[in-house]
Structure 1
Amino acid sequence: MPIQFSGWQTYCDKSKHLKPGQQPKKSHGYIMFHGTHKTNASAIISSGFKPSAGGKLGPGVYCSRDMNKAMSYPLLCAPNDRVVFKLRVRVGKVKRIDSQSMNLQTTWHQHGYDTAWLPATVGLEEDCVWDPKRLTVIGIAHCTDTSTKSSLQSLIMQKGQLQKQDGKNLSQCKVCDQQTLDKHTVEKCWSCKAYICPFMDKHVCHKS
């Protein structure tokens, strides 16, 4: 008799996370966060980030691997007006900014670096990325307005469908939400008959 199953859950984490104090490695991609006002959120998803003219680490796009850091921006913003993006950041060549390199605090890019990293020695960890194309919005980490959140998530999906990789169009599987070059084969669960994709991380069958 063939073995049948109707649910699974994987525990693999495909994103790269850093421990507190661990420096980002050159050319790696990491999950980070960025806080903005909800009126600016859709434009960022559609057109990309606009680097700030200045700041503690000079010009660039500011983000942090610490959600609490992102939750404090923009300054003087009401909590209900704040949106925090979940980002995938390709850091490139990273410069650690500490007491030994304060002379490069705002001029690191002129010395060939793509990202400046400020460790959490005073305050919370922070990163500044010179090229906004190195940041990709992949999700909404915080938004109290459910209507706004739903709208932004739809924009992220549409943006993902338009992105190109190696000259080929990417689409997003409606079942597992992964971006893919080839259409995923979707089938029905043997027990509950719900539509499932073999690339899903989790499927819970509620049929007893």
Structure 2
Amino acid sequence: MVWKFQHKMSITFSGWEALEDRRKLSANDEPKKGHCYTMYHGTHLQNAKVIISQGFQPSKDGLLGPGVYVSRNIDKAKCYPLQVDKKDKVVFKLRVRVGKVKKIDCDNHPMQKSWHQNGYDCAWVPPNCSISSIRSGREEDCVWDPKRISIVDVACCVDPAMRKELRKLIQQKRGSGGECDKCNEKSDCSPHPIQSCWKCGKTICAFQPKHQCYH
């Protein structure tokens, strides 16, 4: 007598696909959690090389408390540092991975300077809001962790020779980082966020095109 057995195995599939949002973020749009955006930062020309090589140093205080102050409005960035001749300024073009964002849109907001302590990575002041100290009405952001900011280019520098030199340093700095060993891609928003898959436990990069696992 021959016995035949039929075994049915259930396979559970899980996975995800990452998509990059290439739409330009308007001044009135609130930054989305985890996305990267183009922003700008104005600083003293004499500090530019140090910032490129060592990264940004967060301010100790400000309208939104400690952090690195940036804006997606280049005209606002051109104003800084205040009361400094434009020949002594440089404006960097940045890519900012905003993380979790808190909107601060009024004077004496309860989280105006405590947003990071409440679990946020970035504070955002919308344009034309009711904060009295921002007379220009231009939006601005404060990023807690400088590692969320990558310098992409020199947006403004009136000295052509210095602009060329700074751009060369930026390219050298970006090129020295290499590729992400998980997704094999370079990014303006480095380092890439590495985490474990919630199903299979495999270490993955949130920017890799796909991840699939079977159980």
Matched, 1:68 2:79: no
Q: Calculate the TM-score normalised by the size of structure 2.
A: 0.69
Residue 114 of structure 2 corresponds to 107
Q: Which amino acid aligns with 1:76?
A: Q
Aligned residues: 160
How far does the alpha carbon of each residue in 1:44-81 deviate from its partner, in whole angstroms, 9 at most, with x for none? 01000000000001000000000010000001111111
Pair 90,16 (structure 1): closer, same or farther in 2 beyond 3 Å:
farther
The SS at the match of 1:26 is: coil
| C-alpha contact 1:16 1:29 (8 A) present in aligned 2 | no
| C-alpha contact 1:161 1:179 (8 A) present in aligned 2 | no
Unmatched 5+ stretches in structure 1 = 1-13, 171-177, 181-208
Pair 154,38 (structure 1): closer, same or farther in 2 beyond 3 Å:
same
Percent identity between matched residues is 50
Q: Calculate the TM-score normalised by the size of structure 1.
A: 0.72
Q: Which amino acid aligns with 1:148?
A: M
d(CA) in 2 for partners of 1:18, 1:68: 16
Q: Which amino acid aligns with 1:79?
A: K
Pair 15,136 (structure 1): closer, same or farther in 2 beyond 3 Å:
farther
Pair 15,150 (structure 1): closer, same or farther in 2 beyond 3 Å:
farther
Q: Which amino acid aligns with 1:112?
A: G
1:144-155 mapped onto 2 (5 Å cutoff):
144-155=158-169
Q: RMSD across aligned C-alpha pairs, in angstroms?
A: 2.3
Residue of structure 2 aligned with 1:124, choices 121, 138, 142: 138
Q: Any runs of at least 4 consecutive aligned residues in structure 1 with deviations exceeding 3 A, and if so which?
A: none
The SS at the match of 1:95 is: strand
Deviates more, 1:92-101 or 1:152-161: 92-101
Matched, 1:20 2:34: no
Q: CA deviation at 1:166?
A: 2.4
Compare CA radii of gyration and give the structure with the larger one: 2
| C-alpha contact 2:92 2:151 (8 A) present in aligned 1 | yes
Residue 5 of structure 1 corresponds to none
Q: CA deviation at 1:41?
A: 0.4
Residue of structure 2 aligned with 1:141, choices 155, 161, 167: 155
d(CA) in 2 for partners of 1:148, 1:15: 31
d(CA) in 2 for partners of 1:81, 1:147: 13
Q: Which amino acid aligns with 2:28?
A: G
Residue 161 of structure 1 corresponds to 175
Unmatched 5+ stretches in structure 2 = 1-20, 130-136, 188-215
Q: CA deviation at 1:16?
A: 4.6
Q: Which amino acid aligns with 1:143?
A: C
Q: Which amino acid aligns with 2:62?
A: G
Q: CA deviation at 1:111?
A: 0.2
